[in-house]
Amino acid sequence: MPTNKRESLIFTVIMCSCMVLWMSVYNVMRVHGWEFNLGILAESWVGFPPAYVVAMLLDVFVASRFAKWAAFRFFVTPGKSSKLAVTLAISTLMVFPMVLFMSLYGALEATTHTGNVSLIPAIWLTNIPWNFIAALPWNLIVAGPFSRWLFRRVFPEGTVLAEPAVQAQRA
């Protein structure tokens, strides 16, 4: 979908926002017995900024590299596979490392409230399947399509340059 590194970074900001906000609300609701109210929304919003920073770093430096490597090595062929196949392969494969690492982040964050670090492995391993069953469909059905739609509405094809215009003029 993005055609250069600038577009990729902008798209990642949008996509990561959609995923982290939803997963924050989801996990706070799960901890509080699946109820939804303004307190749940407030608690999710307070936890959003640090979770977003961690998720962006993981996305840029770990998950996207893994997803692209695995997708092009095992599932799709550049130039031969359809854009939809490439998008679905990368989007699906992004969920695996993100769920693994963000579930660990959630376990670490949860133990800051209790101080009982011995619970980290149990919380982490419990979080992984719960987060996977929420993250995969949300990524493929809601966040991905919405982020691609929003990205192209705000930045039509060809409007995000690969390098700044000032540098291009000097060359």
Q: What is the pLDDT of residue 137?
A: 98
- Say if residues 35 and 74 touch (Cβ distance below 8 Å): no
Question: Looking at residues 44-49, what average pLDDT do you find?
Answer: 95
User: Model's pTM, two decimal places?
Assistant: 0.87
The domain segmentation of the chain, as residue ranges, is 5-155
Residues 6+ apart with CB under 8 A from 98: 19, 55, 58, 59, 63, 135
pLDDT above 90: percentage of residues in the chain: 80
Distance CA 108, CA 102 (A): 10
Q: Would you say residue 97 has pLDDT above 70?
A: yes
Residue 64 confidence class, pLDDT cut points 50, 70, 90: very high
